Amino acid sequence: MNDEVARRLVHASGAILPTAWVVGQLDAVPELPWQVVRYVLVLGTVVALGLEVVRLFVGLDWAIFEKLTREYEQENLAGYALYIIGGTFAGLLFTPVVAVPAMYMLTIGDPISGLLGSDELRRVKPARVLGTMFVVSFAFALPFLPLTAAVAAAVAATLADGVKPVVATYVIDDNITIPILASVTAAVVLVATGEPVEAVVTAVA
């Protein structure tokens, strides 16, 4: 298995957490409270940031970092940490109806898109990759969101995944932009179409 496939599989394994919550909503299945999901996300963020501080400023020469990080991440915050931060943003700020689809767009949509376009270093991904990302994102959004919000969130995730903005030579990583843009867009559309804010934003729930 090459390093790229290994990275994508690890990426997809993050879907375990939202899936555990979803399965817990079924009858006769023990429920995983959303608050527990949030605790796990915060713990993951703390651990990831701790590892990154050691790796960047002290030196942490673990073989797994060679496998799971890219060359351009050697002196910057690694994608796995941004991935956890992005998921934590969605999970802490929004209720599950918004956060869960955003997490799936990151954990499932992004690695599928990445495998399709892994050999193409472009500022904007090809149409076939953008289309695939949209379809996957929409498929995960629709069970949780009304049609309009699902489409909007999927478009946001697709743009975050497919267009790579550069700020002062630093490429903005889609590991953090996908869940943030998807969840914020879904929340804005929900509130704009009449959903109570407290049903969307955790902080006021």
Query: Which sequence spans correspond to the domains of the chain?
Result: 3-204
Give 65-74 contacts, CB < 8 A, sequence gap 24+.
Answer: 67/3, 67/6, 67/7, 68/3, 68/6, 68/7, 68/10, 72/171
> pTM for this structure?
0.90
Cβ neighbours, 10 Å, residue 51: 16
- Report pLDDT digits (tens) over 25-67: 998 899 999 999 999 999 999 999 998 888 888 876 666 666 6
Whether the CB-CB separation of 190 and 146 falls below 8 Å is answered with yes
Helix (H) or strand (E) holding 203: none
- Report pLDDT digits (tens) over 82-119: 999 999 999 999 999 999 999 999 999 999 998 887 65
Whether the CB-CB separation of 184 and 86 falls below 8 Å is answered with no
Q: How many Å apart are CA 197 and CA 147, to the nearest integer?
A: 18
